[in-house]
Each structure stands twice: as C-alpha cells, then as structure tokens.
Amino acid sequence: MNTNVDVDAMRKDAVEIFQKGFACSESVIYAIKKGFDLDLSDDAIAMSSGFPWGLGDGGCICGALAGATMCIGYFFGRRTPGDEAFLKCQRLTKEFHDAFKEHCGATCCRVLTRGKEKNSPERKAQCISFVDFTVEKLAEIILREL
C-alpha cells in the first residue's frame, strides 16, 4: 500500500473513469484502489456495481457514498466478530456521511438528482462533482487515520 498519495491525481482518475462508463461507486473504489496501490482484486469494484442510482435504481443511498463506505470498511473495518475496529469504522463512516450530506445537501440519490433525467449531461456533471468530493474527503480521512 502506498501512503504517499496524490489526492488530485486520484480525483482526476475517478472523474476520468466515470466519464468512460464506470458508475459513481465503481469510480470511487477504482480511484482509491489505484491511488493507494491497494492489493485488492477488481472484484471489489464489481461488488459495488449494484449501488448506482440509489441501490439498483431504487433512488436510495448515493453510490459515491456507498463506495466510500466500502473503502472505509476495507481500511478500518473488522475482520473477526468482536473486533473493536468495528467501532472506529462506524465512527469514520458517520464522519464521512455527515461531511457528504453537508457538502452535497443530501445522501439519497433521488433527492440529490431530483429534476435531472438519468444519463443527462446535467445529472452526469452533478454526479461527477459528488465523485470528486467523495474521493478527496475519503482520502483525507484515510490518510489522517492510517
């Protein structure tokens, strides 16, 4: 794992891969995996493929937020029952959730994208801003806590 990361490069990678066709959750995990040079299978990206558009187009949690939650779990989550890492993971997830909500205005995809057609340039631009913020804030938390 690399801890001498270039956060701006990770943000750029996330936006570029989003523009090439990855969804929000996939883009976040891709950029964090690449930026931190994680020994993590691309299966993690595949595992996040159900999150976009609010959990399979259900409109619930933003996929960028869900992808960030997966990354926090990777770095700080528990590996066995009873592991107290769970408490730290919960605290950091709440911190990220609250920062996302404050910055973006909500955590629910249908609220965040209300009035924008799916796959429209306006919605895509908005989602890019969410992905960009997510990677920056997530990297900040990870680097601070490592």
Is residue 120 domain-resident? yes
Is residue 1 domain-resident? no
Is residue 37 domain-resident? yes
Is residue 82 domain-resident? yes
What digits encode the pLDDT tens for the residues 44-63? 999 999 999 899 989 899 99
Is residue 38 domain-resident? yes
Is residue 69 domain-resident? yes
Is residue 54 domain-resident? yes
Is residue 78 domain-resident? yes
What digits encode the pLDDT tens for the residues 106-127? 999 999 999 999 889 999 999 9
Read out DSSP for the chain? Answer: ---S--HHHHHHHHHHHHHTT--HHHHHHHHHHHHTT----THHHHHTTT-HHHHTSSS-B-HHHHHHHHHHHHHH--SSTT-THHHHHHHHHHHHHHHHHHHHS-SBHHHHTTT--TT-HHHHHHHHHHHHHHHHHHHHHHHHH-
**What is the span of the domain harbouring residue 101?**
7-145
Query: How many structural domains is the chain composed of?
Result: 1
Mean pLDDT of the chain: 97
User: Within 13 Å of residue 139, how many CA atoms lie on the same side as its CB?
Assistant: 27
